[in-house]
Amino acid sequence: MLDAIVPIGEGVYFTGAFDPKIRTFDIIMKTANGSSYNSYLVRGSAGVAIMDTVKREFSDDFFARVERLCSYDEIRYIVLHHLEPDHSGALEELMRRAPDAKLIISHRAVLMLKGIIKTDVAFEVANTGKEISLGDKTIRFLSTPFLHWPDTMSSYLVEEGILFSGDVFGSHYYDERLFDDQVGDFAYAFKYYYDHIMRPFKQHVLAALKLYRACDAIALIAPLHGPVLRSNINYYLDSYETWSSQKRFRKHEFGQKMLSVFYISSYENTQKMAQSIMVGADSIEGVRASMYDLASLEQENMIDLMEESDVVVVGSPTVNGDAVKPAWDLLSSMAFLESAGKIGATFGSYGWTGEAPQMLHERMRGLKFRLPLAPLRIKLIPTAQELSECVAWGKELGEIAMGKVVEMTLE
């Protein structure tokens, strides 16, 4: 049994589906309050547009809502802002039921489309500025890639001031009261969603905000998950702007480079290396070096520190031919961050084979760090001479952080 038809504007309706039971989304996100797969229907004087669909398992709810609002032969456009299956799950069936509707996707979605629906279909590509008309209603497209996949775009319903923002401004938060001023307190879900989905793409968030702010007047934001936002639009825009702009490390304001040495040590040997590397790096003017013991660092702090660091140095002993788990955990937290442009380096003391620094080096290469120096390894207890080498290695990293050009290692 469906609830009442919910208009979100003049001739604009919610056609999505609620998923109160989901507790994990995309494997990594906890969804304590469930979620929703938001879809919308826009009715103009010359036809109807469907804005996104839902996850396949919720197709019945979606089609039931659509059928209460229009007949399939009235649908002129199907707009997919984002092809992830939670929004494209009912696309193929909708196209079968509305064969005359034009599918509109972003240019980056073209290669994904066939992978999603496994068949050739006709479509039109939308870039920033393209418009489609439904008679008395106009939908203008905005290219907002990487939020959350490369294909993501947004659109703006000009006459109503409604921004269809894709995953941007979404929350995994189920509440059938739907509007932000009527649902429960979803602030934690809004921030959590930003941190997990948008944070790795801050520059793209800022670019999207520029496009959004250039829209005449946004009266309502209709995202693909969670509450529809209408109570204080600037609060949501400003929150994204702040989270995407802020720097905690104030030394950046004075032009200093932040070099962080993360280490884990069982017999203080790798720790001694870390200390010497830090001292060497910190002796370079313009570099502020610090060291952090991974054995006691919370993941949230790891993420913040990694994000702020210009240079990330990771040290681990070798145990059973591998780096130890806290070092891998540190690097796995890069899933939440942009790594492009960061410098990386690895080191560690070892007793027998000493593979850990090289393994971490390879992982950092895979994460797109710039790795100018070969891994630094020392067998067992470092001598005074070896610690001097660590200081020199740290100095070299500091100089590279400040712009010294070196030939990149191919190891």
Minimum CB–partner distance for residue 123 and ligand FEO (Å): 19
Reduced to 3 states (helix: H, G, I; strand: E, B; else coil), residue 270 is: helix
Rounded distance, CA 124 to CA 107, Å? Answer: 9
Q: Does 277 bind ligand FEO (CB under 6 A)?
A: no
Is position 230 an interface residue for ligand FEO (rule: CB under 6 A)? no
The identity of residue 395, as a single letter, is K
Q: Which of residues 148-177 bind ligand FEO (CB under 6 A)?
A: 148-149, 167
Buried b (16+ CB within 10 A) or exposed e, 142-160: bbbbbbbbbbbbbbbbebb
Nearer to ligand FEO by Cβ, of 86 and 180: the residue is 86
Applying CB under 6 A, among 52, 61, 84, 282 the residue interacting with ligand FEO is 84
- Please pick, from the candidates 81, 202, 225, 395, the single residue that binds ligand FEO as defined by CB under 6 A: 225
Rounded to a whole number of angstroms, the minimum distance from the CB of residue 354 to ligand FEO is: 41
**DSSP per residue, 128-190:** TT-EEE-SS-EEEEEE-TTSSSTT-EEEEETTTTEEEEETTT------TT-BTTTS---HHHH
Query: Could you tell me the smallest distance in angstroms from the CB atom of residue 113 to ligand FEO?
Result: 15
Residue 28 and residue 196 in contact, taking contact as beta carbons nearer than 8 Å: yes
Check binding of 257 to ligand FEO (CB under 6 A): no
Query: Tokens 């399939």 label which residue?
Result: 72
Residue showing the smallest CB distance to ligand FEO in the complex: 84
Strands 7-9 and 12-14: antiparallel
Q: How far is the CB of 197 from ligand FEO (least distance, A)?
A: 7
47/166 with CB nearer ligand FEO: 166
> What is the rounded CA–CA span in Å between residue 121 and residue 3?
33
Stretch that binds ligand FEO, among 83-91, 105-113, 241-249, 395-403 (CB under 6 A): 83-91
- Which stretch in 84-92, 204-212, 311-319, 321-329 sits in contact with ligand FEO by CB under 6 A? 84-92
Before 148, cis peptide (omega within 30)?
yes
Piece of 82-90, 265-273, 344-352, 389-397 that binds ligand FEO (CB under 6 A):
82-90
Say whether residue 86 binds ligand FEO (CB under 6 A): yes
Spatial separation of the C-alpha atoms in residues 177 and 99, rounded to whole Å? 33
Contact string (CB under 6 A) for ligand FEO, positions 124-153, x = contact: ------------------------xx----
Instruction: Give counts: helices (H), strands (E), the chain.
Output: 12, 21
Q: What is the rounded distance in angstroms from the CA atom of residue 36 to the CA atom of residue 211?
A: 26
61 vs 167, beta carbon nearer ligand FEO: 167
CB of 51 to ligand FEO, least distance (A): 13
Yes or no: say if 133 and 46 are a contact pair by the CB < 8 Å rule: yes
Q: Backbone dihedral region of 240: left (phi > 0), alpha (psi from -120 to 50 degrees) or beta?
A: alpha
- Does 224 bind ligand FEO (CB under 6 A)? Our answer is yes
Least spacing, CB of residue 380 vs ligand FEO, in Å: 48
Q: Given the rule CB under 6 A, which residues bind ligand FEO?
A: 82, 84, 86-87, 148-149, 167, 224-225
